[in-house]
Structure 1
Amino acid sequence: MENQKSNSNLKAIIAILAVLLVGSLVYIFKVTSDAKAVETELVTTKSDKASVMKDLEELKATYDAAIAENTSMSDELIAEREKVVNLMADLKKSKGDASSMAKYKSQFFALQSKMKTLVAENETLKKDNANLTVQRDSTVMVLGEAKKYNEVLVGQNEELSKTVEKASKLTISNLQTAAYKLRSSGKQISTEKARKADILKISFTISENAVAKPGERSYYVQVIDAKNNVLGEKKTETFGDQTLTYSFVSNVNYEGKPVQVSQDLPGKDFEKGTYFVNVFDKGELVSKSSFSLR
């Protein structure tokens, strides 16, 4: 009886130990499986984090290249690149768990989609700019050729104007001066003696010029005596940076034909010696001569 009781107790203990062993084995299997699952999840999320980070770096590099082209979309491209940079900073700080990685992937895909749209627009803009540059260069070349042609025409016109102006100048010929003594009757007697002279008669001829325009012409006559004094009115006229002191002005109505001009210069106590007579068309000397009184 006692042996039977001992055997029963032993069997009971063995049964309990068997149950405990089975439970331990089940628990160990579950713990091991959970650890492997956690390890697998950690490895997976770590790999996902690195993959998303790499994708974001490539996205940023794409924006950097587009911004470097310096198109009119640069501001918009820079703004989107900042979003990528900020997301990279957030990803770097994150633990990389499954839920957060899903969020980062979703944000990445949204940024990638926006990038594709902007890059496509930027490429279109670059092509348009290239076409505009070609058109501008072509226009500049045409305008440059036109400018050169105009410069040639202006030069030719200037030369032609100078030629016409030169051709239209009236020439003075046959400039003569003689001294006369006036009789009480009004008769003029030619003399070469200074003490007898009462007037100097200056005459010259304006030659015919078919190119010259008809109209009023003024000639300034300057008579200088032997002591370098200007005789007559001694008025002064300025032409540009030149100043002219003259004896009298001869106003002539020129009509395209030769004109004989003659004018008296009255005086007294004429000096002995050589006199100089100059005729000016404004500030330009057009004729000169000299004579002597004894």
Structure 2
Amino acid sequence: MENQKSSSSLKAVVAVLAILLVGSLVYIFKMTSDTEIVKTELKTTMTEKESVMKDLQELKSTYDAAIAENTSMSDELIQERDKVVNLMSDLSKSKGDVASLSKYKNQFNALQGNMKVLMAENDGLKKANTTLTTQRDSTVVVLGETKKNVEALTGQNEELAKAVEIGSKLTVLNTRGSAFKLRSSGKQIETDKASRADVLRVNFTIAENQIAKSGDKTYYVQVIDSKNNVLGDKKTETFGENTLTYSFLTNVKYENKTIQVSEDLKGKDFAKGTYFINIFDRDILVSKTSFVLR
């Protein structure tokens, strides 16, 4: 009788141990599976991070090649390349989680869109006018400021441009200056002679940007003649510690589509020589060009 009880007890102990063993195996299997899932997710995330970094490196290489050509758009290209470099630095420091990767992908897409617009414009400028190469280093001249103040203002403008949220900045392209003779009939004839000019025309394009804020947009246009005089209204606007003397304002209703802007500046007795056109978004220089009247 006692042997039967011992045998039953032993079987019970064996059964309990078997259940615990099975439970342990199930737990170990689940932990191993969860670990593998986490490893897989981490591997996938790191792969996506490396992919975004590779895309950014290719984007930077495209800008480096274009900048090396020394076109009149070098300043704009350098600003966009610096944005790419800053994003690469931020990405390398990130933890690589899904949320941050999504943010970096969106920022990359915005930068890539700007790159396509700038590259198309850069190619067009090279084909249209080879003389722009010698004019790329034209310096923005602000009336009443010394050379030191101009350099300081340029540095501040560059810092402000870098602070603008990625992808929200509007791109100003195709800036062009020209002169016209006005006939008594009202007909306008383009001329490159200072003695015949009655009006100076400023044309530029605001590129399409679907993620920028739509609405009314004001640009300050500065036209400087060969004698270093600001033409037109000669009004002064203050932006914090910075001041800007401009020729006229142009107000644009921007609806996230490409828009062409054309403004005329009437005058007389225009001086011969090189004229500089600078377009500002507040105190930030967004486009510049020059033309010559003989």
Same fold (TM over 0.5): no
Relative CO higher for 1 or 2, CA cutoff 8 Å, sep ≥ 6?
2
TM-score norm. by structure 2 comes to 0.45
Q: 1 or 2, which has the higher helix percentage?
A: 1
Bigger radius of gyration among the two: 1
TM-score norm. by structure 1 comes to 0.45
